[in-house]
């Protein structure tokens, strides 16, 4: 296990030196093993952090200056490529920073990081549930030779960790996964049912979640016309405003204890995806912290 070169969220001007003085801790996790299609998520945290330097600090909806929350960026974590060992490394690292008085936002890396992060959060908040924003169900039992692959995230969370979860934006899955949701009476919020002109479905998402929530944002949950920079883009996804409003609603009505943003893959010659991902991070700060 090694550490990546240091980049702070928002730049050095807002960096809080001592984590004890921070309300938010940002953990970059440079991890990508056995991707399904496109690669590049392993360097996603660095691209997001670099883009965050260009953000204005005043949120346009709330007029909150998110710098004043106090943001401490942790050294970048580069876990081993052995997936099972990597999960232990991520869990142990995250566990050191999960605190009732501090919000931990982890930046991936591929979505497999959420398995370890959810386990660390569940040790601190036993009644936690997971909100997954994603194009994919991620309910395979094995994929590309591992049970800890990004395609198995929610299977591990539900089956191994026994945590409840709600899936939003889904529009890609295999027969094995469909059989699983039928057998376990799961009710994903499919993207084709999420009317951009009617947010009433969000009431059902909020209702389905427990009081304590871990929020996992796989960036391929957004439509690729909004965010093309991800390894497995799927058409027909959520709009930026839908995702922001869902973050706002869940943050207002639930106790969001931690979260992650994952699966950012740089598109050469474009900065749209990393800038959008960084902006979403500030929305999590404003609405959930």
Phi and psi for 29 in degrees, rounded to 5? -125, 105
Tell me the C-alpha distance between 229 and 142, whole Å: 25
Give this prediction's pTM: 0.96
Name which of 153, 108, 143, 136 is nearest 234 in CA terms.
136
Peptide bond into 285 cis (omega under 30): no
**How far is 47 from 135, CA to CA, in rounded Å?**
22
Cross-strand bridge partners of residue 39: none
Token representation of residue 239: 């709009």
Q: Which of 278, 42, 256 is CA-nearest to residue 166?
A: 256
User: Which domains does the chain possess?
Assistant: 2-288 (3.40.800.10)
Q: Which residue has the tokens 């990546």?
A: 4
pLDDT tens digits in sequence order for the chain, 289 residues long: 455 789 999 998 899 999 999 999 999 999 988 565 657 788 999 999 999 999 999 999 999 999 999 999 999 999 998 999 999 999 999 999 998 889 999 999 999 999 999 999 999 999 999 999 999 999 999 787 889 988 899 999 999 999 999 999 999 999 999 999 999 999 999 999 999 999 999 999 999 999 999 999 999 999 999 999 999 999 999 999 999 999 999 999 999 999 999 999 999 999 999 999 999 999 999 999 9
- Cα distance between the two ends of the chain: 30
Q: What is the pLDDT of residues 38-84, one digit of tens each?
A: 577 889 999 999 999 999 999 999 999 999 999 999 999 999 989 99
- Six token digits for residue 279: 């902006």
184-189 long-range Cβ contacts below 8 angstroms, 24+ apart = 184/158, 188/137
Q: Say how far residue 76 (Cα) sits from the centre of its chain.
A: 16
Cα(132)–Cα(172) distance, rounded to whole angstroms? Answer: 14
């Amino acid at each position: 296990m090694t550490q990546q070169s240091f980049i702070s969220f928002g730049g050095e001007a807002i960096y809080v030196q001592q984590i004890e003085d921070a309300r938010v801790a940002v953990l970059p996790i440079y991890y990508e093993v056995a991707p399904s299609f496109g690669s590049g998520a392993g360097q996603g945290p660095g691209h997001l952090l670099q883009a965050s330097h260009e953000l204005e600090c005043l949120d346009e909806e709330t007029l909150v200056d998110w710098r004043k929350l106090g943001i401490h960026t942790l050294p970048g974590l580069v876990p081993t490529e052995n997936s099972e060992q990597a999960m232990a490394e991520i869990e142990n690292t995250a566990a050191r920073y999960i605190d009732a008085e501090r919000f931990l936002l982890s930046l991936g890396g591929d979505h497999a990081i959420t398995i370890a992060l959810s386990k660390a959060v569940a040790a601190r908040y036993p009644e936690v549930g997971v909100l997954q924003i994603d194009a994919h169900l991620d309910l395979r039992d094995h994929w590309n030779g591992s049970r800890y692959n990004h395609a198995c995230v929610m299977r591990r969370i539900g089956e191994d960790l026994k945590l409840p979860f709600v899936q939003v934006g889904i529009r890609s899955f295999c027969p094995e996964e469909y059989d699983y949701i039928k057998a376990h009476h799961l009710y994903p919020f499919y993207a084709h049912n999420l009317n951009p002109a009617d947010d009433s479905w969000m009431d059902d998402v909020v209702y389905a979640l427990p009081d304590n929530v871990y929020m996992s944002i796989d960036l391929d949950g957004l439509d690729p016309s909004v965010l093309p920079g991800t390894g497995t883009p799927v058409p027909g996804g959520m709009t930026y405003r839908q995702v922001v409003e869902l973050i706002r609603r869940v943050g207002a009505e639930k106790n969001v204890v931690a979260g992650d943003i994952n699966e950012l893959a740089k598109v050469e010659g474009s900065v749209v995806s990393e800038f959008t991902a960084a902006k979403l991070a500030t929305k999590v700060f404003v609405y959930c912290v």
